[in-house]
Structures are given as structure tokens and as C-alpha cells.
Amino acid sequence: MATVRLPDGKELNVEKGEKARDVVEKIGPRLLKDAVVVKLDGEIRDLDAPVDGDGDFEVVTKDSPDGLYVLRHSTAHAMAQAVLELYPGSKLTIGPPIQDGFYYDIEVSGKISDDDLPRIEERMREVVERELPIEREEMSKAEVEELYKDNPYKLELINDLEDGDITVYRQGDFFDLCRGPHVPTTGSIGAFKLQNLAGAYWRGDEKNTMLTRIYGTAWPTEKQLKAYLKRLEEARERDHRKIGKDLELFTFSPDVGAGIPLFLPKGETLRHLMESYVRDVQTRHGYDHVWSGNIANQKLYEKSGHLEHYIDDMFPPMEDGETKYRLKPMNCPSHMTIFNARAHSYRDLPVRYAEFATLYRYEKSGQLTGLTRVRALTQDDAHVFCTEDQVQEEFARALEIIREVLDTYGFSDYRVQLSLRDPEGGKYIANEEKWARAEQELRDALERAEIPYEPEVGEAAFYGPKADFMAKDVLGREWQLSTIQVDFLQPERLGCEYIGEDGERRTPVLLHRAVTGTTERFMAVLVEHFGGVFPVWLSPVQAVVIPISDKHVEYAEAVKKRLSESDLRVEVDDSVNTMQKKIRDNARQKVPYLLIVGDREAEEGSVNVRKRGEGKKQEAMTIEEFAGRVSVEVEAKK
């Protein structure tokens, strides 16, 4: 017999080798209907897996994160089976679950387009209705190679595996090389929808074959699927690329180049407001702002380690005789050079530099997406040079800034990911002792601030661990925004020093810190978060004065002049359109206030105010009253 411990602490005696599904049935027959897999001592296994010893036992249902992962993985297999049945001769490669869904990369035999997705969906439903058992088989490497002798992609994957128990999953005539686990039958698959096709190079290498990637989403119930599709539709309406065009914020042009955004007057106003706000907060917290240019000598990046570890993301060099220059991909080496421009003692520390610097990163064209992934980006970067004893205090200061800014923008739901080094990875500067110190400092800082965090191995920067702030917008989508990083390595490489209390030369610790990440990406997030309905303080245009007829244009201009003197951003709509069309057009521009002026307003020195979101409701007030009201809103960041 074996004894398993349930999540509530109870123990259950089972026969060794008994199937997990039988153990679940002993716990509760109803539970077996909801189960997709189980966890044995934290390892996810199929319901048909044997329980071969004592340990913790947990039932995983479709609604749990692990259950959804398995459900989506199994749905990807059902899709692959449907494609093979409809397009004989197609070759499968890989098909993983992803957030909210799944995809499969396939070399499709024949032509396929988005118009074919409903047909594939219908065949998937047939696969589900067959209630095919999904069974795990263990094979030798030679057996699996024979099974896939006509599929070069799978053979390449198999070649990377060690000989032993390699697993294949079967459902009817379909089989796939896979670690699993999976739901027990195709009938256990829930609600799904195929979404779109895309091109994808085999193993992400543009030198390899272009495959067809089919994306889909899967959920336990039809109700959850419909709710997700509704959220997607709302997200499409909030797409920053659409809103950015409608509100005349930014544009892209092939004449300038892919991934290089051009900001129109309203977009530049928005950028300026965003950056000025963060600049003011940083100044209040003792940061000095610097500027460090757009290019730098390549040797600087050799010293810092960026050329070795970051070269694939850098633009090719420009040569001036024997000197090679690079477009600046990050600020830290330049800020360390500024630090080195004069001598420092322990009394000077901490030294805090901040800069809104445009950086250039050679993103692949297929990865460029609106403002969220660009090649020219402006980072609200800051670097703090401090002693080891000051790390905790400076981390707390950076955290206070981040919290204030995110709260002001309405991002109150966020979590922290502690990005750590993968000891087996080769992309990091080698120094075991300093890595251990940096990671411990960051853990201690988070715990002292009583911030829960989720460790993520392999996501650290090449020079140190980092705390990444993952914020959710109004649609529940998660974005990586702020970051704080601890670096014991780069300052030594670039010769940063200060004189300690004992008169000895010492190397400072460097904290890298960004509040909003990059202006471009954060603007995209804000546009979608607010749906273009920016708070008054952030709106590029805060009010539009609408004259009832041409004879009222002169008074409208006077209103604009008076409000501009109160530092409000105001325009006059003196177009030839009717008053009602002007109201509709400016309402579509999501302007916070529309000010209607005619004979009465001109005589009384007043404006008739329509506030965004309040329909046709109008309120008469003097120009001074209106200026005072809006100024209060701006001051309160509303």
C-alpha cells in the first residue's frame, strides 16, 4: 500500500500502481468528472498514470491554471489531427499552449487561408465527438525515429533527445511526439475557436522553412469562451494603433523605416506630459537629469559586456577611420562614464542619474508591433550609484516612485516578478559570488518592503537580477512596465570607484531603474488602458471652443486666449461644419470639454460647457470659473 496526502491534510491509503483516476474516484466520483490531470509531489501526470509511492496528491481541474494549460495543449493536438485529416501529407512541428490559447506550426500540404479556419474547426468538433482515448506510449529513440522517418522537423527534435523513454501520445490514428500530460479523451476538450494564421520560421530562424502557424483559444465552457471573445473585441476597439490614428497621435511610414514611430503634434504633447510628470517625480526624490547622446564608441560596449551579450539586438557599427560607433542600445555604460567624469567619495553617494534617452535596438521586422515593439524607443532610465549599505534604502525610494506613478495612471493591480539567473545558461557575466550577493540583496529588499514576488529563473539581465513590475490594464491584460535591477558587475568593468571612509578605493553598487519602461510602449498601454479617453491632465487637447456661427469666431478666439493664459490646452473649431457636426466630430476625438459660444456667451463673458461622458448636458459658467475647475482637475491628476 501507499499513502497519499491530500491538499486539506487528510491521508488516503491506495494500492501501489493504482491509476490516478481511481484514486480521484475514491476522493469523490463527482470530482473525477471535473479532473483533467493530477499532481503527484508537484509533478503533473495523466489520469492513467500509476500512483507508485507515498506523496502529495492533488486533483487538477479545467478551471485551474495547470488544468487550462493541459486543456489547451490537448486542443492543439485536436487541431493538428484535423489539419492532417483535411490536408494529407502535412508535416507537424511544434504546438504548445500559450496564454489564453495555443498554436501549432505546420508545413501544410496545399493552400490554406483564414477562410479555411471554420472548416478546420468543424473537423475538430468531429474529433471531439469521437471521444478518442488519449494514450501515452513510451518508446526508444530508434522506434520514434522510425515513426517519424518522413518528417524532418520531428527528426530534428528527436535528435536532440537522449535515448530512453521518449513519449508519444495517440488519439485514434493520430499520434504526436509529446511530453504531455493530456486530458483523458478528446471528449474532455472544452470550447474552442481558431483565430488566425501567421507565418513562422522553423525554430525562429529566418534561414529555415516558413511554416504556417495556426492560432486558437480554448476554454472549459462555451460561456467562458464567449466572454473571452467579447474581451478580445473590446481590446480590438481599444487597439492603440487604431486609436492613435483616429486621435492623430502617431504614424509610421516606409519612407522613414519599419519600427520608427513618428509623433504628430498631439502625440508629442502626450509624450511631453508623460515624461514631464515622471521627471518632476524623480527630481522630487533627488534624481539629477543628464543627457548622453545617441551614439557611442563600440569599445564602451566591449568594456560593459553588452557587445558580447547583446550584440544581436544592436545595429551594425558605423566606422570613422579605426573607430567604430554604435547607435546607443541602452544608457548604463554612458551613465557610468558620466559618473567617472569626476572623483567621488562616500559622502557623495548615492549619486542618482536619470535620462529620457532615445535608444535603438535592431528588432526583427516580424516582431515589430505598433508602439509596443519598436526600433527607436525612449527609455525613462535611471541609475543609482550607492554603497552596499544604501541598496535597501535606494530600492525603497525607487519602489516609492514606481508606486506613485503607476497609481496615478490607474494601474493598481500589479505583481512583481523576480527575474533570476539560470545557472546553466551561458548569457550571463560569470561571477558566482557577486551574482549571489545581488540576488540576495534584491530578495531582502522585496521582503523588507513586504512585496510578494514570483521567482522566474532565466529572465535576469546578463549583468544582474531584476524585479519586474507586471501591471494589468482595465481589460485584465498584463504588461511588463517598471523594473529595478541590482548590478555588482558592470561598475567594476567600467572602472567606477569612490573613496570610502577608510580612504580606500571601492566600487559602488549600481541600481538600474525604469518607472514606465519606454515612452512608446507605455503610451501604447495608456492609450488602450484609457481607450483614448485620457484624464484631463493627460489629454493633448483639454477643451475645444465651438462657435455657433462665423460671427462668434472672434469671441471663441478670445476664450482660447484667456484659457491658454491659465496653461490649459485649448483649440477653436472654426471649420465650415455646422455646430452639431463640430460637436460630434470633437466628441469622437474624446476631448474632455466642449465649450459652446454664441451671442449670449459673448455678451456675458461665459461659456456653455459640455463635459465628456455626460451626453447633451450643458452648464453655463464664466471663463474664470471654467479655468478654475479644470486647473483643479489638472493639479489633482484627474
Pairing of strands 210-219, 191-201: antiparallel
Catalytic residue among 381, 468, 473, 573: 381
169: cell is: 501520445
Asked if 325 and 297 count as a contact pair (C-beta separation under 8 A), the reply is yes
Q: Verify whether residue 245 is a known catalytic residue.
A: no
Which phi-psi region, left, alpha or beta, contains residue 112 (left: φ > 0; alpha: ψ -120 to 50)? beta
- Contact between residue 12 and residue 3 where contact means Cβ atoms under 8 Å apart: yes
Active-site choice (62, 361, 403, 552): 361
CA atoms of 503 and 120, how far apart (whole Å): 74
Can 332 be counted among the known catalytic residues?
A: yes
Count CA atoms within 13 Å of residue 451 on its CB side: 24
Q: Is 306 a catalytic residue?
A: no
Computed on alpha carbons and rounded to an integer, the radius of gyration of the chain in Å comes to: 30
Which one from 383, 521, 560, 569 is the annotated catalytic residue? Answer: 383
Nearest-angstrom CA–CA distance, 614 and 256: 41
Half-sphere exposure (Cβ direction) of 515: Cα atoms closer than 13 Å = 29
- Annotated active-site residue 361? The verdict is yes
What is the identity of the amino acid at 218? A
- Residue 261 burial (10 A CB sphere; 0-12, 13-18, 19+): buried
Catalytic annotation on 335?
A: no
Q: Which of 328, 466, 552, 569 is catalytic?
A: 466
Instruction: Read off the amino acid at residue 29.
Output: P
CA 285/CA 240 separation, integer angstroms: 32
Name the nearest CA neighbour of 189 among 76, 80, 59.
Answer: 76
Answer yes or no: are the C-beta atoms of 330 and 301 closer than 8 Å: no
Q: What are phi and psi of 462, to 5 degrees?
A: -65, -15
The DSSP symbol for 499 reads: E
78, containing H or E segment: helix 65-86
HSE, side-chain direction, 13 A CA sphere, residue 194: 25
**Nearest to 67, CA basis, from 95, 37, 42:** 37
> Among this protein's residues, is 466 annotated catalytic?
yes
Catalytic residue chosen out of the listed positions 73, 352, 512, 513: 512
How far apart are alpha carbons 247 and 265 in whole angstroms?
11
Q: Which position among 171, 379, 417, 542 bears the catalytic label?
A: 379
- For residue 120, the one-letter residue type is I
> Residue 11: which of 56, 52, 61, 53 has the closest Cα?
56
Which stretches does DSSP call E strand in 541-617?
543-547, 570-572, 593-597, 606-611
Catalytic residue among 39, 176, 332, 610: 332
381 is an active site residue? yes
Q: Which residues are catalytic?
A: 332, 361, 379, 381, 383, 466, 512
